[in-house]
Amino acid sequence: MPQLTLTERRNGDVTVLDAAGKIVIGDGSVQLRDRVRDLISSGHYKILLNLGAISYVDSSGIGELVSSYTTVNNVGGQLKLVNLNRKIQDLLMITKLLTVFETYDDEEEAVKSFR
């Protein structure tokens, strides 16, 4: 069974990736990287990563979130996060990444924030 499951859907012109499981070294981080790059190559530059069902993120997973953010930004797109649990919020705060990512508690609010 994969450690990470990604389900893709559209909310207007925003691609929402619903992530479930763990974003960890190995399959989890590689799967996220590949999916984000696939979205970009098919012309989807507004990506909302829903982390509501993520139970754990390790340092490799954090690195992959940053890498995905950078990759999307470099092509003029936006990657934002929604539904962060307390553990992930704390992790992003400790690593000072809450100042990098735009994070939202509500999907509709996040979707409206894309320009």
**27 band by pLDDT with thresholds 50, 70 and 90:** confident
**What residue ranges do the domains of the chain occupy?**
4-112
pTM of the model: 0.95
Q: What is the mean pLDDT of the chain?
A: 95
pLDDT in tens, 79-106: 999 999 999 999 999 999 999 999 999 9
Name the residue with tokens 């989890």: 28
CATH architecture assignment, domain 4-112: 2-Layer Sandwich (3.30)
Give residue 1's pLDDT. 58
Residue 115 CA: distances (Å) to CA of 14, 62, 111, 112: 10, 25, 9, 8
Q: Residues near 73 by Cβ (< 8 Å), separated by ≥ 6?
A: 79
Under 8 Å CB-to-CB from 42, ≥6 apart: which residues?
none
